[in-house]
Structure 1
Amino acid sequence: MDDYSPFDRGGGEKTDQTKTSNPFKRPYPPPLKPKPQETDAGTGWAPGTGPPTLSDVSSRPNTLKADAAKRDAVVDAFRHAWSAYEKDAFGDDEYHPISHRGSNLGSGGGIGYTVVDALDTMLLMGLESEYTRARTWVQEKLSFERHGYFSMFETTIRVLGGLLSAFFLTGDDLYKHHAADLGDRLAVAFDTPSGLPGSSVNLGGRTAMNGGAVSISEATTLQLEFRYLAEITGRVAFWHKAEKVMKVVNKARLPNGLAPITLNSNGEFAHSGIRMGSNGDSYYEYLLKQYIQTNRTEPVYLQMYGDAMQGVHAHLVSKTPAQGLTYIAELLPLADGKGGDWRSSWVSQPKQEHLACFLAGSLMLGATTAHRLDSSSPISRPPRMDALTGAGQRDWATGVAFLEGCMDTHKTKTGLSPEGVNFRTPADPPSERDWYIKGANKGGSLPYDARYMLRPEIAESVFLAWRLTGDARYRSYAWDIFSAIEAHCRLPGGGYATVRDVNQVPVEYEDKQETFFLSETLKYLFLTFADENVLDLSEVVFNTEAHPLPIFNPSIQPLFTKYS
């Protein structure tokens, strides 16, 4: 069964996808029309038409084949997580597997965060019965007429992103209809003097909580979703509202190319730190992915991304003194923000959140997409360094080394990586390892950084590294991660839970199964062991919640084109 695929992609005549109710019996749909003269040099396939059929990709040399046993073990884990949620809390936003109950994020009722976040994972895994029940819930129960405030950022990446990905994979207009409805309700958040979005939206009331500061990641991790929504609906306003945010950020940017984590309501950076973790991470991720999404037709994002990665290497990339582990430091402004120019004076902190580990795979992806010397020729696997620019060679080397540093944080009693670590510096006394969890082993309550909350970032980078190199060690890393999750997070009664201390066995749990466990962690692990043709990196871009969206040539004229 090594040629596993959830779809019958026999390469025959494509049907009218919007009229087909069973996505498991046909190829992916062609959701967008490309420019006819542009084709992929490796296959003759036109970018923007959706992933090719099996016959298109089977002739490619060195296609990565499935590890069926490990792939199916991940599918079983998804079933274990999903079936518990479906039994105890179907339709609720979040799931608490120890108390066997659900909860909602809005005071006026939920919007099915977990259901919508998991749709594309079920499609890719070929879970037909589970998907059918989930789709029925969307058709019969999903409503955004909820008079409660929902996070603009989380609702966009999880719910809007999930609907858009389901539409891309199936061509089912049910998902486009709901996505357009949700987009209309969320778009009011952009109606501010600066154009920066408010932090939360009352979906039923179509009002936003605007006027305050917003994190850089919350403001700039909406673009993939709203641009694709604009493309499939023809609603140009969706595109331009999200695009205006990037123009504001570009105008406010610092000389070092990096972005502090907080923006004032007037569109200027507030006195705040710089980090690749919470409130900062996905800004850098989406600089690259916006460039990839529109088939490398918008050089302004390549320029912003290139400057940002130069700043990362100049100010954030660090190594530990003993083991030489590569990590990404944080910066704190030296001045207090009331007097001197804090924007040009920083101090490095040897801290790193689990979230920052997305950057390892992102750097490798950027090296092979944004920094190829000849973008018209296929890239080898692994990439030849002489096919990359100097910046691409630098980014590739850093990505590979940084992923090794992230994997080192799995060297805990559970094999799970903690939420955050501090790295030792030359001023610290020698120790058996170059990092530690701040506040651990000091008695009292467990530090927040000691937990593992089913996060996907290291698994995401491992997946990208596997696809870009074909190196078996990355599949070994993925299996180690999955095995640790199975051993310590899986609950016998169903579901998976957050572990409160990765260095304590037996473990203590927190009663929470995050939606991103279904959408991201298990999806990336599945794709690492699945056949490459299940989802090809050259045809899709993942949003920050791991929802695959198509690469396309935009029919909408961008307004943000000038780099300053």
Structure 2
Amino acid sequence: MIPRRRLWFPLGIATLLLLFYYSWTAQDQYQWTDLGKPAQGPQEEHQADAVALDDDDYFWRKLPTHYPVQDMKPLPTGRPLALPKIQTTFGKESEYDRATRKERQQTVKKAFVRCWNAYKDNAMMSDELAPISGTTKDVFGGWGATLVDSLDTLWIMGLQEEFEEAVTAAAGIRFESTSLTTVNAFETTIRYLGGFLAAYDLSGDPRLLRKAREVGDMLYKTFDTPNRMPISRWDFDNAAQGGKQVAPEMALVAEVGSLCMEFTRLSLVTGDPKWYDATERIKEVFEEQQNTTQLPGMWPITVNPKDKLFNVDNTFGLGAMSDSTYEYLPKMHALVGGLIPSYQTMYEESMRTALKYNVFRPMVPDAPDILISGTVRVEKEGGKVGFNLEHQGQHLVCFAGGMLAVGGKLFENAEHLEAARKLVDGCIWTYKAMPHGIMPETFVMSPCKSDKECEWDELLWKRAVLRQADLNDLAAVDEADSIISEQRLPKGFTKIPDTRYILRPEAIESVFILYRVTGRTDLLESAWVMFEAIQKHTRTTLANAALSDVTVDSRPPKIDSMESFWMGETLKYFYLIFSEPDLISLDEWVFNTEAHAFKRLLP
């Protein structure tokens, strides 16, 4: 930066006044003063970075645009609102509590460093390390998914030397080609674009913004369709050769509705509204059709981008295939400082429906006051409409407690905060109920008669087990006992369809968020118990591995898999819950669905 400063100096007062003018106009239009690192450094540094980003050499910019935007939507203007605080005010902790917390934090950090070194030594620049065999996997484009996912974790953990090495490596990733036939645009967005943006927001390193822009230009091509709706499962080679594209007739709602945080943040830090425009068009369709679906207030699991029909399917849930669409509603409100009011409206309407139809209280021993989120199918017959709730929980849907905690604080909604508590406590309970203290991917439970009538009834539980096995629930009890023994069902569970644990982050994510929101010290203890159980059973000679069956009495068998979110999300949240509360404060930062932290617009 020194040569640039020396170049600016001789230009004199006139240039300084010109810079002041551009700074003022950019601040007025794009809220530069609230964008984190760029506004904190000298103005000439910011201008130099912006010039460096204006690079026509990017491969994806050279390709023709078949369906250009005719009416670009401008970025939101105005001063960001002073939103309610999300984090609680933490009191002074005892020396013993502080020492314990710091020791646990360092233990998590050591676990991360061990995995990072294993990845660096065995799989650097590949998407994933296979943690048992030491081989590599390329499942997310072959662009170093674990490397990019880990960038902001390295920074947050204070691993500056490793961070610099990782940034240098990541700056060399080339996004012109891939070994995959089809690229998942959503996964690419949350991992790569989110990873580069977060690392840039934290460090201010212009190399990271350059890579974010490069990935953004690549992903922008998925919107080059006749109606500007995106292609979620993308024919990369066709696009790279300049071929024409059409949005698909069917896509998962999460893969269409979960691009707005990353695209909006990229527009904010660059001042280029094209990415914001792209996802704002999607948001308008969601907004228009929200109350026209078969479960008004929510959107179904599948949608039709080609015809802009987001209201046809009859299956609704907060879990897999839908999750981050709902998660991003309150987070977008926080990200843009409340300057787009429709996100609050969409969130409140969707949660009004979800809390009425999608959550249930399970019947389990000791009757804890917990909730589980299931899936609803709307069935129409003879002019009547029925709502069939499947009482299947998912590890993935544990994110919902954190979402409701954030939304409850931002919108001062006590009902959402209470639901958040019950959902998070439900995930903690499920961890504790399993023989090794680790929740499976999916499970089915028997619901209580009502929220008020929830006493444990062993006979009712066994009848529910029989029904799940497609047997008459009046069959002999010993048949239920046989199923319970054969399937290793803890009390309260009626079936465990997917017994795996794949190093998922959603449970600790919501435990972390609820801790920052409430300050409940028991959540620290729950997090530590979870970490110890996971570390004990997933650790390999190299790193950590997914588990194929967490219900077995013996040691759970391992799978030769370590997805990038283990280092990008799971270990990051375990580290942050034992950190000082001002490290990535939720009042200043907001996480995308891959746990990448973006700087919020603040007044």
TM over 0.5: yes
The answer on whether the counterparts of 2:80 and 2:339 sit within 8 Å (CA) in structure 1 is: no
Q: State the Cα deviation string for residues 414-469 of structure 1 (Å, max 9, x = none).
A: 1111101101136983459999999986589x976111000011100100111111
Aligned-partner Cα distance in 1 for 2:118–2:220:
34
1:231 to 2:276 alignment: no
List aligned pairs for 1:240-259, cutoff 5 A: 240-253=277-290, 254=293, 256-259=296-299
The answer on whether the counterparts of 1:150 and 1:203 sit within 8 Å (CA) in structure 2 is: yes
The answer on whether the counterparts of 1:189 and 1:209 sit within 8 Å (CA) in structure 2 is: no
**2:424 is matched with which residue: 395, 403, 409?**
403
Superposition deviation, residue 529 in structure 1: 0.1
Aligned-partner Cα distance in 2 for 1:215–1:281:
10
1:510 to 2:594 alignment: no
Superposition deviation, residue 308 in structure 1: 0.7
Superposition deviation, residue 19 in structure 1: 6.6
List aligned pairs for 1:28-67, cutoff 5 A: 62=91, 67=101
Superposition deviation, residue 193 in structure 1: 4.0
Superposition deviation, residue 211 in structure 1: 2.2
Letter in 2 for 1:180: R
Aligned-partner Cα distance in 1 for 2:501–2:106:
24
User: For residues 434 and 83 of structure 1, do their structure 2 counterparts lie closer, same or farther at Cα, with a shift above 3 Å needed?
Assistant: farther
Question: For residue 95 of structure 1, what is the aligned residue in structure 2?
Answer: 129
What SS is found at the alignment partner of 2:459? Answer: coil
Aligned-partner Cα distance in 1 for 2:426–2:251:
31
User: For residues 433 and 61 of structure 1, do their structure 2 counterparts lie closer, same or farther at Cα, with a shift above 3 Å needed?
Assistant: farther
List aligned pairs for 1:120-135, cutoff 5 A: 120-135=152-167
**1:260 is matched with which residue: 262, 275, 300?**
300
Aligned-partner Cα distance in 2 for 1:357–1:349:
16
Structure 2: gaps (5+ residues): 1-38, 47-74, 450-457, 470-482, 489-494
Aligned-partner Cα distance in 1 for 2:152–2:465:
36
User: For residues 128 and 312 of structure 1, do their structure 2 counterparts lie closer, same or farther at Cα, with a shift above 3 Å needed?
Assistant: same
What SS is found at the alignment partner of 1:534? Answer: coil
What SS is found at the alignment partner of 1:549? Answer: strand
1:144 to 2:145 alignment: no
Question: For residue 215 of structure 1, what is the aligned residue in structure 2?
Answer: 252
The answer on whether the counterparts of 1:110 and 1:146 sit within 8 Å (CA) in structure 2 is: no
Aligned-partner Cα distance in 1 for 2:44–2:319:
40
Aligned-partner Cα distance in 2 for 1:85–1:17:
38
The answer on whether the counterparts of 2:249 and 2:307 sit within 8 Å (CA) in structure 1 is: no
The answer on whether the counterparts of 2:80 and 2:337 sit within 8 Å (CA) in structure 1 is: no
Superposition deviation, residue 288 in structure 1: 1.1
The answer on whether the counterparts of 1:463 and 1:524 sit within 8 Å (CA) in structure 2 is: yes
1:331 to 2:376 alignment: yes
The answer on whether the counterparts of 2:80 and 2:602 sit within 8 Å (CA) in structure 1 is: no
**1:424 is matched with which residue: 433, 446, 449?**
446
Superposition deviation, residue 497 in structure 1: 0.5
Question: For residue 543 of structure 2, what is the aligned residue in structure 1?
Answer: 495
The answer on whether the counterparts of 1:318 and 1:329 sit within 8 Å (CA) in structure 2 is: yes
Question: For residue 548 of structure 1, what is the aligned residue in structure 2?
Answer: 597
The answer on whether the counterparts of 1:18 and 1:171 sit within 8 Å (CA) in structure 2 is: no
The answer on whether the counterparts of 1:422 and 1:435 sit within 8 Å (CA) in structure 2 is: no
Question: For residue 117 of structure 2, what is the aligned residue in structure 1?
Answer: 83
The answer on whether the counterparts of 2:81 and 2:338 sit within 8 Å (CA) in structure 1 is: no
**2:387 is matched with which residue: 306, 324, 346?**
346
Aligned-partner Cα distance in 2 for 1:192–1:340:
40
Compute the RMSD of aligned alpha carbons.
3.3
The answer on whether the counterparts of 2:363 and 2:445 sit within 8 Å (CA) in structure 1 is: no
Superposition deviation, residue 127 in structure 1: 1.2
Q: State the Cα deviation string for residues 147-206 of structure 1 (Å, max 9, x = none).
A: 443210000001100000011011111111111111111112123344432113355644
The answer on whether the counterparts of 2:76 and 2:340 sit within 8 Å (CA) in structure 1 is: no
Which has the higher mean CA deviation after the structures are superposed, 450-459 or 261-270?
Answer: 261-270
Aligned-partner Cα distance in 1 for 2:324–2:383:
26
What SS is found at the alignment partner of 1:533? Answer: coil
Question: For residue 281 of structure 1, what is the aligned residue in structure 2?
Answer: 323
Aligned-partner Cα distance in 1 for 2:519–2:465:
29
**2:434 is matched with which residue: 395, 398, 412?**
412
The answer on whether the counterparts of 2:84 and 2:409 sit within 8 Å (CA) in structure 1 is: no
Structure of higher CA gyration radius: 2
Superposition deviation, residue 367 in structure 1: 1.0
Aligned-partner Cα distance in 2 for 1:419–1:119:
27
The answer on whether the counterparts of 1:419 and 1:450 sit within 8 Å (CA) in structure 2 is: yes
Question: For residue 453 of structure 1, what is the aligned residue in structure 2?
Answer: 502
**2:415 is matched with which residue: 394, 399, 403?**
394
Return the TM-score normalized by structure 1.
0.79
Structure 1: gaps (5+ residues): 1-12, 21-31, 43-56, 372-391, 555-564
**2:105 is matched with which residue: 71, 78, 100?**
71
Aligned-partner Cα distance in 2 for 1:490–1:73:
14
The answer on whether the counterparts of 1:317 and 1:329 sit within 8 Å (CA) in structure 2 is: yes
Letter in 2 for 1:423: M
User: For residues 355 and 532 of structure 1, do their structure 2 counterparts lie closer, same or farther at Cα, with a shift above 3 Å needed?
Assistant: same
Superposition deviation, residue 88 in structure 1: 1.0
**Equivalences, count:** 487
Aligned-partner Cα distance in 2 for 1:292–1:341:
42
Superposition deviation, residue 18 in structure 1: 9.5
What SS is found at the alignment partner of 1:532? Answer: coil
Superposition deviation, residue 320 in structure 1: 2.0
Superposition deviation, residue 293 in structure 1: 0.9
User: For residues 212 and 36 of structure 1, do their structure 2 counterparts lie closer, same or farther at Cα, with a shift above 3 Å needed?
Assistant: closer
The answer on whether the counterparts of 1:185 and 1:203 sit within 8 Å (CA) in structure 2 is: no
Aligned-partner Cα distance in 1 for 2:43–2:152:
16
Superposition deviation, residue 273 in structure 1: 1.1
What SS is found at the alignment partner of 1:421? Answer: strand
Which has the higher mean CA deviation after the structures are superposed, 505-514 or 447-456?
Answer: 447-456
What SS is found at the alignment partner of 2:316? Answer: coil
Superposition deviation, residue 133 in structure 1: 1.9
User: For residues 61 and 496 of structure 1, do their structure 2 counterparts lie closer, same or farther at Cα, with a shift above 3 Å needed?
Assistant: closer
Give the structure with the larger helix fraction: 2
Aligned-partner Cα distance in 2 for 1:119–1:16:
25
Question: For residue 104 of structure 1, what is the aligned residue in structure 2?
Answer: 138
User: For residues 261 and 40 of structure 1, do their structure 2 counterparts lie closer, same or farther at Cα, with a shift above 3 Å needed?
Assistant: closer
The answer on whether the counterparts of 2:361 and 2:448 sit within 8 Å (CA) in structure 1 is: no
User: For residues 86 and 396 of structure 1, do their structure 2 counterparts lie closer, same or farther at Cα, with a shift above 3 Å needed?
Assistant: same
The answer on whether the counterparts of 1:186 and 1:203 sit within 8 Å (CA) in structure 2 is: no
Aligned-partner Cα distance in 1 for 2:465–2:520:
27
What SS is found at the alignment partner of 1:429? Answer: helix
Letter in 2 for 1:362: M
Question: For residue 26 of structure 1, what is the aligned residue in structure 2?
Answer: none
What SS is found at the alignment partner of 2:225? Answer: coil
The answer on whether the counterparts of 2:226 and 2:246 sit within 8 Å (CA) in structure 1 is: no
Letter in 1 for 2:111: A
